[in-house]
Chains A and B, each alone.
Chain A
């Protein structure tokens, strides 16, 4: 297997960057977990460590998605990338901007007073979860994404082959870029601030990103088992359609208690309860296609693809729907139940998605047909088992918290320090297991296709 178009190789730059950040993310996540037991373990406080954890996560997933798109679009358009130097420039600009932002967070963590306000915006850390990046960085991010999208559109225009897969992929990416904008202005009113903040967060993970995932799922099923495009594309439209039909109004599940009108209880409760439906459809789609498959060309790739579909449904769908009704959410809102869901959803839906894309596309970029697959499976099991136990542990912590604090009225700090102590210890232990899996994956990424005496896949 080799790639058809040399410019697809640009994807590897993005993958490498993504994987380095992934390792950083997991490492600081482990530090954050230990800070539940010993808050002063690091020079940086929990707030900074957590900011690094979730920002590294979001940025590496975005870098992974960009890499994947740089691979998919030339392939689907059947042509070289419109402009390779611009793509390379976009990559390095992103790396420089992200590095500057990270340095800013660390400086702010050590000297909080350095986070001064200039022209009405904070220069180092905006102090809003997930979108902590300061305004100047937001602008750079938007420019970078626009350059990227422009390059993609020009590539498609070269041959005007609008396949459904790349059409949906690009729709998702444009939607993603647009939904970054509601996070870029200041509201004096905290209720409005949170209202628009959820546009970014929710309409990303339960809107545009799922649309992208739907398109990439179809692409990967086609690549790994040669499934029929026609059928895949039809189901893809139905899946991503249902994602948006339920997910857009499903935003209401964040508007129950933040000072917004009560009709969101009905709107959010009803539509978000249906959000698992398209995710279940994706699982069914993956299984149906796999059953019909005659020749599997990339077993590991397929394995990760199916795992992504399953854990997307379990983490986002099941662990989401359990606390999505207002009558339940009023007790669980803002507890460790949310953390449990956040972890399994992000892991299943997007971490496994990017890893699957890497295993589907990397062999051809490295010019190998077969590669040693044992490490890929080891990484998967280390990570997945650890993550499942982290999530079960934190679900347990969340149940205790809801019972003790929310139902019995005990003090937050007392519950955290006494009743949940063992849950924090167990989480940290499984965190080490997750880190082991991550490191195996990082090693495998750099070694893939370079081993001596390749095994049969």
Chain B
């Protein structure tokens, strides 16, 4: 191949691929709006709060960003808005182990942020993040569960609490919660209305749990020693 032929190949080949890329970009732009809910004013305001505090400097969102803190794509599916709002405005008061700094979000900024994160969670991401396959595989052959354990799971307590290393870190570890001297009575009251026992608690209340479920759950918690 002569140098001139190599040069022409470089120039025209690159242009060729760039044109295809532009075509795909054009098509993608048309499709994107249909793959997520409409962007409301709150969502856009929330996005601006995201940029203002440089949340991407620690977190990823849609898997892109920094790897110092958890991904934000599906966080609203795991944590209720009431909890998130408290956390965003003052992380340490919500979770004493938190290392995220208190950035000074106002109440409105926190609401907008939650609207933004809710919008993000509804984007069609082609299935990302995938469900943890090993956890699912292990669940199939798992041991018989008590009613209390079942309630614990179905209510998503493990999104915030962990037992024997499994579960979230937003709330206190419950591995030995039964050894803390709190009886079933206390737990039932706490579950119904955490604020009545722990003022300012960021744990969501569970007022609609049936009495029997509440009893079983409390018994399970007391048994954790």
Residues of B within 8 A of A132 (CB): 54
Contact B53 A330 (CB under 8 A): no
Contact B35 A259 (CB under 8 A): yes
Contact B51 A127 (CB under 8 A): yes
Once A51-B54, A112-B53, A257-B128 are accepted as A-B contacts, the answer to whether A129 and B17 lie under 8 Å apart by CB is no
CB contact list, B84-125 vs A, under 8 A: 99, 101, 103-104, 116, 119-120, 123-125
Once A241-B9, A409-B132 are accepted as A-B contacts, the answer to whether A191 and B35 lie under 8 Å apart by CB is yes
Residues of B within 8 A of A333 (CB): 63, 128-129
A106 interface residue (CB < 8 Å to B): no
Residues of B within 8 A of A190 (CB): 47, 61-62, 116, 119-120, 123
In the assembled complex, the CB of B194 is this many whole angstroms from the nearest CB of chain A, namely 21
Partner of A50, one of B68, B104, B119: B68
Specify the main secondary structure of chain A where it touches its partner.
Answer: helix
Once A164-B7, A237-B9, A261-B31 are accepted as A-B contacts, the answer to whether A46 and B62 lie under 8 Å apart by CB is no
Contact A258 B33 (CB under 8 A): no
Contact A127 B132 (CB under 8 A): no
Chain A: residues with Cβ within 8 Å of the partner, total of 80
Which of B44, B52, B67 gathers the greatest number of chain A CB atoms within 10 Å? B67
Contact B125 A258 (CB under 8 A): yes
Residues of B within 8 A of A259 (CB): 32, 35-36, 62, 123-125
CB contact list, B55-85 vs A, under 8 A: 55-58, 60-71
CB contact list, A223-269 vs B, under 8 A: 230, 233-234, 237-238, 240-241, 244-245, 248-249, 251-252, 254-265, 267
Once A240-B10, A258-B62 are accepted as A-B contacts, the answer to whether A411 and B162 lie under 8 Å apart by CB is yes
A417 to B134, CA, bound (A): 21
A47 interface residue (CB < 8 Å to B): yes
Residues of A within 8 A of B61 (CB): 190
Residues of B within 8 A of A108 (CB): 54
Residues of B within 8 A of A249 (CB): 17, 20-21, 24
Partner of A409, one of B3, B62, B126, B134: B134
A85 interface residue (CB < 8 Å to B): no
In the assembled complex, the CB of A27 is this many whole angstroms from the nearest CB of chain B, namely 18
Residues of A within 8 A of B21 (CB): 248-249, 251
Query: Interface with B: A291-299, A334-342, A439-447, which one?
Result: A334-342
Which of B44, B68, B167 gathers the greatest number of chain A CB atoms within 10 Å? B68
Contact A408 B132 (CB under 8 A): yes
B140 interface residue (CB < 8 Å to A): no
Residues of B within 8 A of A367 (CB): none
A75 interface residue (CB < 8 Å to B): no
Residues of B within 8 A of A127 (CB): 50-57
Residues of B within 8 A of A366 (CB): none
A80 to B62, CA, bound (A): 50
Which of B32, B61, B69, B169 gathers the greatest number of chain A CB atoms within 10 Å? B32
Partner of A188, one of B1, B47, B104: B47
B18 interface residue (CB < 8 Å to A): yes
Closest to A233 in B: B3
What 0/1 pattern do residues 303 to 339 of A give for CB contact below 8 A with B?
0000000000000000000000000001101111011
Residues of B within 8 A of A457 (CB): none
Which of A189, A252, A412 gathers the greatest number of chain B CB atoms within 10 Å? A189
Residues of A within 8 A of B32 (CB): 189, 191-192, 195, 259-260
Once A189-B39, A330-B128 are accepted as A-B contacts, the answer to whether A122 and B67 lie under 8 Å apart by CB is no
A244 to B16, CA, bound (A): 10
Once A189-B39, A330-B130 are accepted as A-B contacts, the answer to whether A241 and B60 lie under 8 Å apart by CB is no
In the assembled complex, the CB of A297 is this many whole angstroms from the nearest CB of chain B, namely 25
B175 interface residue (CB < 8 Å to A): no
Contact A244 B17 (CB under 8 A): yes
Closest to B105 in A: A112
A96 interface residue (CB < 8 Å to B): no
A252 to B24, CA, bound (A): 10
Residues of A within 8 A of B181 (CB): none
In the assembled complex, the CB of A317 is this many whole angstroms from the nearest CB of chain B, namely 19
Contact A117 B165 (CB under 8 A): no
In the assembled complex, the CB of B125 is this many whole angstroms from the nearest CB of chain A, namely 5
What 0/1 pattern do residues 183 to 219 of A give for CB contact below 8 A with B?
0000011111111010000000000000000000000
Residues of A within 8 A of B144 (CB): none
A9 interface residue (CB < 8 Å to B): no
A96 to B64, CA, bound (A): 31
Once A234-B3, A258-B125, A413-B169 are accepted as A-B contacts, the answer to whether A48 and B51 lie under 8 Å apart by CB is no
Contact B104 A113 (CB under 8 A): yes
What 0/1 pattern do residues 42 to 78 of A give for CB contact below 8 A with B?
0001111011000000000000000000000000000
Partner of B70, one of A115, A244, A412: A412
Residues of A within 8 A of B53 (CB): 112, 115, 127
In the assembled complex, the CB of A31 is this many whole angstroms from the nearest CB of chain B, namely 13
Contact A129 B62 (CB under 8 A): no
A36 interface residue (CB < 8 Å to B): yes
Contact A194 B64 (CB under 8 A): yes
What 5 A-B pairs are tightest by C-beta distance, nearest first?
Answer: A47-B57, A127-B51, A409-B132, A257-B128, A334-B63
Cross-chain pairs A/B with CB under 8 angstroms, 13 sampled? A50-B66, A51-B54, A188-B47, A189-B32, A192-B32, A195-B29, A195-B32, A238-B9, A257-B127, A263-B24, A330-B128, A334-B67, A407-B133
Task: Give 11 A-B pairs besides A36-B68, A112-B53, A259-B32 with Cβ atoms closer than 8 angstroms.
Answer: A47-B66, A108-B54, A115-B53, A128-B51, A190-B119, A234-B1, A256-B126, A257-B127, A259-B62, A259-B124, A411-B162
